[in-house]
Amino acid sequence: MKAIVYTAYGGPEVLQIKEIEKPHPKDYEVLIKVHAVSINDWDFGLMNGDFINRMLNGIFKPKRKILGSDIAGRIEAVGKNITQFKTGDDVYGDLSGDWGGFAEYTCAREKALALKPATMSFEEAAAIPQAAMLAVQGLIDKGKIRAGQKLLINGAGGGVGTFAVQIAKLYGVEVTGVDRTGKLDMLRSMGFDHVIDYTKEDFTKNGKCYDLILDVKTNRSMFEYARALCRHGVYVTVGGSIGRLFQALFLAPWISLIYKKYFRLVALKPNKDLAYMNELFETGKVKPVIDGPYKLDEVPELFRIFGKGEHKGKIVITM
Ligand SMILES: NC(=O)c1ccc[n+]([C@@H]2O[C@H](COP(=O)([O-])OP(=O)(O)OC[C@H]3O[C@@H](n4cnc5c(N)ncnc54)[C@H](OP(=O)(O)O)[C@@H]3O)[C@@H](O)[C@H]2O)c1
């Protein structure tokens, strides 16, 4: 089968398309013919090999050599301990921890998968898992989003932001999106009430305040975020600069105590809310924003595009 393989950490040039042996499922796995896979920020971190990702996937070189967590495909074989799925089922999910999605076939544990609704395409399904889970868990579980609030999404035009605005709108909140100039028209068309071009305006200094901030970049100091929050406002980060995240962990209790503004961090629970996303999709309330689909041999170039932030929504690759 064809797969995108990497044997050393580095830039997109370390990703190479190779012909390798098709995997065999273990007793607790299913074999999936992958129809679509999407790129996540985490794949990018695993390719570069920053400190935290080396802890996860090998200090000197990658242990798991095929990246790709968010896949959609058809089950081709099942291990003997599999109870929830059968051959021929169409499934999707986030395989993070095992990865292996940038390939024509991959193996997965059943807890990483949900049945794909018949009305959802493989491309749409592959766009959902990680980004939509971060949006749901950030807004609902950590942010406790409520009707009438003012919400700001920092880094609005990528995977998480494009799901988050659709989910937030179901709660009747006013949503502001922050991203670069070229993405603002797309944000408006998606239902953002206000957009801010971060190359021209600093949302922490415009005199406005927000009840809830959902941040995918975490590129500002915690004091700047505190300034942009209304009293009793909540800031939720799903990820971004490691230095800023450590700063948040250290300063959050003090800022809560002094300013009565609250800081929360999402630790992704993979696949937890796929059933909820199926329901939102089937009732026409949420639709993934897809950049593509592209082909497997384009993956190194697509990582270049992703690294420069030139994508809109989720980059999806089909086999
Ligand atoms: N918490 C967890 O357990 C967990 C697990 C997995 C992933 N994550 C995190 O989840 C996040 C993934 O988000 P995503 O998929 O939405 O990423 P994404 O698709 O890369 O989107 C990020 C958006 O932010 C924009 N942006 C860049 N610089 C900005 C700035 N200074 N101000 C405002 N916007 C800016 C980017 O556009 P331009 O670059 O074009 O400006 C892009 O549109 C990452 O932070 C990742 O680390 C967290």
pLDDT of residue 249: 87
Q: Tell me the CA–centroid distance for residue 265 and ligand 1, in Å.
A: 14
Ramachandran angles phi, psi of 308, nearest 5°: -85, 0
pLDDT of residue 241: 84
pLDDT of residue 248: 87
pLDDT tens-digit profile of 22-76?
999 999 999 999 999 999 999 999 999 999 899 999 999 999 999 999 999 999 9
Query: Around 288, how many Cα atoms within 13 Å sit in the side-chain half-sphere?
Result: 25
DSSP string spanning 139-163?
IIIIT---TT-EEEEESTTSHHHHH
Tell me which residue has its CA closest to atom 7 in ligand 1.
42
Of 19, 165, 167, nearest in space to 179 by CA: 165
Tell me which residue has its CA closest to atom 37 in ligand 1.
309
DSSP string spanning 127-139?
HSHHHHHHHHIII
Ramachandran angles phi, psi of 234, nearest 5°: -125, 130
Bridge partners of 94? 70
Residue with tokens 């639709």: 287
Q: Return the structure tokens found at 65.
A: 């050599």
Instruction: Kindly give the residue spans of alpha helices, DSSP state H, lying in 170-241.
Output: 184-190, 222-228
Which parts of the chain have pLDDT scores under 70?
A: none
* Ligand 1 atom, smallest distance to 179 CA: 34
pTM of structure: 0.95
pLDDT of residue 205: 95
Query: Which of 134, 141, 185, 273 for a ligand 1 pocket mutation test, highest count of atoms within 8 Å of Cβ?
Result: 134
Handedness of CA 81, 84, 90, 94 (dihedral sign): negative
Quote the longest CA-to-CA distance of the chain.
Answer: 61
